Amino acid sequence: MAAALIAAAVLTCFLIRATGYPLLSRHDARVGAYVLDAVQNGNWIVQKDSGGDIASKPPLLTWCAAAVTLLTGRVSLFALHLPAAASLVATALVLLAAGRRMFGWRAGFLAAFLYVLSPAGYAQLATARYDGLLALMVILAALAAFRAWVSGSGWTCCWLAAAVGTLAKGPLALVLGAAGLLAAFWERRSGSPMPFRGYHFVGVLVFLLIIGGWFALAYEELGQPLIYKMIGRELVGHAVGAEDESSPLGVLKPPVDFMLGFAPWSLLALASFWRVWKRPDGDARIRRFERFLVCGFLAGLIIFCVAGHQKGRLILPLIPFAALLAGRELSEITSPWSNRRTFRTAIVLVAFFIIGGFVEAHVVRRRSPRVQETLIAQQVSRLIAERLGPNAPLTHVDSPFAVQFYLNSVRPTVSFERAATLLRGNAAAWVAVCDLARLKSELGPDAGPLHEALLWPETGEPWIRVVGNYPLPLTHQPEAILLGQIRAETQSLALERPRLKYRCGTELDFRGDAAQGRLRIENQSHAPQTVRVWIFDEASTVAATKGERSLLPGAVWEFPGMGPNHGVGTQAK
């Protein structure tokens, strides 16, 4: 019943927020780009956003959101936010089980309940962030480490949980998951030593195979830029705070973030810290577990205090440690209550929690500027699909990724210079742009007129425009589009599915008249590009024409009426 109440509360609040005013944050947009890069381009090992920037974190969150995207058929806020909400439920159930086993049913239920009904817990219901997954794997690794410490075996489970956590947000998962083992020194000083026993070989091997295997594959795809981004900028840069503004609170910011993020239950956690220090439990097993939780929390807090990168959300993986201790403390305070009274009180608090979530998602949030931008992006993407078609041959310049998100596509943005060159060509081309004055400056005074297919909003200062070099509707003109460093020009063929893979090159699916259609592909990069083409006749599932070429910089590949397998394995002229 307790597990059902917790899961139902989280699910209800998640659905309430999911059906409220949409808010696509900048972080959501980045993760959405990673998901589409994996699902549509096939880049599952490591991803990039629409601007070509490599993902800053390992891909576990992307994989989870991509799985939901594949099941639902398109990327959505639901797909992005579900992994964090599911992690919240899973973490709460882990706290319920661990607290019940160590402290009793009431303490376990209250620990899970306090974790869910906290600002940090509520924030996980509508965010595409890595911290919820990390918190789940850290507490799993920590509980496995405690069990291995007291039993002398079972370290493989700890290493496995740490490996999965590392795939979520880096090696911090291993450090935080093992930090509670500092309690062994506390036990030794108090005259009750509990030495470490057991073997780690299999666990270490599992960790290295998972993390080392993924990193080796990622490095093979992207090379040195991966090292620079994930290790240089993210791991080392965040440790020293190279790109962060210092907080006026200094080293006190993480403790303040904890007090606010776990409010008001953080006061119970502080009381529990004091009790564990001054009046340790007489049962050796419970005493070790309490000290393990205190050491895990305080060691993690010190790490965040000395780190240069200090954001409020970073404290989340430590809150499950505090929740178990706070649940134990509240269990002692409410010991005169019956279980029925405790459960009824919890239901009342959940009801207020749900009502507050409804007001926030359906009333308060509509005033947010980000909500208004999200609603505009939804409207713009719908109009683009109506006016240019669902697979619009649209090149994005400086348009917000939210437009591509709601178009369910991810195409690299291009420079104003390349967009102007595209529009000066003879083929019909359309670009999504916000800074029209800069685009016109790149076009120059001798360029032909631009034709607006879309201007939104239609009154006041436009947020975005879709402009082209031919008026709508198009008749039989060739159409051109930029796909990364590739320029594709088609006639009587429609681009159906582009796949921009890092190692395998660009793969393009076209549908139309394979016998009469014309296609011109140009490599506009400074490096050779491999291009694979499949052309399908209308309503056919088997390619009538296919080809592959490695194009040198500036090379062009043209083929009217290609035959089967034309061009496979050949070089561009």
pLDDT score recorded for residue 196: 87
Give residue 154's pLDDT band: very low, low, confident or very high (50, 70, 90): confident
Q: Domains of the chain: which residue ranges? A: 2-364, 371-478, 484-573
**pLDDT range class, residue 238, cuts 50, 70, 90:** low
CB contact at 8 A, 455 and 382 = no
Sign of CA dihedral 161, 175, 297, 102: positive
Whether pLDDT at 477 is above 60: yes
Residue that has been written with the tokens 């436009």 in this structure:
462
Mean pLDDT value of segment 481-487: 93
Of 82-96, 302-316, 341-355, the range with the lowest mean pLDDT is 302-316
pLDDT, residue 237, reads 63
pLDDT at residue 569 tops 60:
no
Mean pLDDT lowest among 147-161, 260-274, 463-477, 536-550 = 536-550
* Nearest Cα residue to 112 out of 4, 209, 20: 4
How confident is the model over 114-140, as pLDDT tens digits?
999 999 999 898 888 899 999 999 999
What is the pLDDT, as a whole number, of residue 541? Answer: 76
What SS3 class is residue 398? Answer: coil
CB of 288 within 8 A of CB of 194? yes
DSSP conformational letter for 315: G
Question: 10 Å Cβ neighbour count for 34?
Answer: 28
* Residue range 198-215, pLDDT digits in tens: 899 999 999 999 999 999
The pLDDT value recorded for residue 567 is 43
Of the pLDDT bands very low, low, confident and very high (cuts 50, 70, 90), residue 560 is low
Residue 240 has pLDDT above 70, yes or no: no
Least confidently predicted of 28-42, 395-409, 549-563: 549-563
Q: Are 169 and 134 in contact (CB under 8 A)?
A: yes
pLDDT averaged over every residue in the chain:
89
The pLDDT of residue 247 is 63
The CA distance from 318 to 460, in Å, is: 47
Which tens digits make up the pLDDT trace of 19-42? 999 999 989 999 999 999 999 999
Task: State the pLDDT confidence band at 74, using cuts at 50, 70 and 90.
Answer: very high
Give residue 565's pLDDT: 40
What does the pLDDT read at residue 33?
95
Task: Answer yes or no: are the C-beta atoms of 30 and 370 closer than 8 Å.
Answer: no
Cα R_g (the chain), whole angstroms: 28
pLDDT given for residue 232 in this prediction: 78
Give the pLDDT mean for 487-511: 88
Out of 97-101, 232-236, 362-366, pick the least confident.
232-236
Average pLDDT over residues 330-347: 88
Given pLDDT bands bounded at 50, 70 and 90, which one contains residue 309? Answer: low
410-to-69, 147, 191, 483 alpha-carbon distances in Å = 14, 45, 61, 10
Determine which of 203-212, 302-311, 381-390, 494-503 has the lowest per-residue pLDDT on average. Answer: 302-311
pLDDT at 570 over 50: no
